[in-house]
Amino acid sequence: MQTRQLTAIIEREGDGYVSLCPEVDVASQGTTIDEARANLIEALELFFEAADPSEIQSRMHNEVFVTRLEVAVG
């Protein structure tokens, strides 16, 4: 079994958390950060198991950069 390093973005939404993997645009959620992370891993594993290789290739973004920005507001 091979593994991949992917990005997880987790943010609070209402009473829970939403998790997103921008490389393949797969998302999940959970009531805690750890649950949202675990659910995203499960969703990604199911995606890679079930998706056709051409779909994986077309959705895969190999370069994802996460950074903070300072923006003038108002």
- Residue 34: what pLDDT? 98
- Residue 20: what pLDDT? 98
User: Does the pTM exceed 0.85?
Assistant: yes
Give the chain's mean pLDDT. 95
The pLDDT tens digits of the residues spanning 32-51 come to: 999 999 999 999 999 999 99
> Which residue pairs, CB below 8 angstroms and at least 24 apart, start in 59-65?
59/24, 59/25, 60/23, 60/24, 61/22, 61/23, 61/24, 62/23, 64/7, 64/22, 64/23
CATH topology (fold) of 1-74? Double Stranded RNA Binding Domain (3.30.160)
Q: Are 35 and 17 in contact (CB under 8 A)?
A: yes
